[in-house]
């Protein structure tokens, strides 16, 4: 599936993921956000919003500290 819904599994520790896996996960969450905006009058699910925030924080942390970036998947 190209989206990651609120009921789908999500890693407990994003720091364990390689950069490519993290980027793919971010892409799937963004697709879910887009889907929710288009189909749900209440907007995205709070879990999806929280996951997106967690991913953005981890991606930014890796930009600031390249040493945190794990080997490519």
- State the average pLDDT over residues 48-61: 97
pLDDT at 69 exceeding the cut of 60: no
pTM, 2 dp? 0.85
pLDDT at 47 exceeding the cut of 60: yes
What does the pLDDT read at residue 65? 79
What does the pLDDT read at residue 5? 95
Q: Which of 31, 37, 35 is nearest to 55 (CA)?
A: 31
Helix, strand, coil fractions of the chain, as percent rounded to 5: 65, 0, 35
Domain ranges of the chain: 16-66
What residues contact 1, with CB distance under 8 A and at least 6 apart?
Answer: 8, 28
pLDDT in tens, 4-46: 999 999 999 999 999 999 999 999 999 999 999 999 999 999 9
């Amino acid at each position: 599936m190209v989206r990651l819904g609120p009921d789908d599994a999500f890693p407990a520790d994003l720091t364990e993921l390689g950069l490519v896996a993290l980027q793919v996960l971010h892409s799937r969450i963004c697709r879910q956000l887009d889907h929710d905006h288009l189909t749900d009058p209440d907007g995205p699910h709070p879990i999806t919003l929280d996951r997106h925030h967690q991913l953005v924080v981890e991606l930014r942390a890796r930009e600031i500290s390249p040493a945190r970036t794990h080997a490519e998947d």
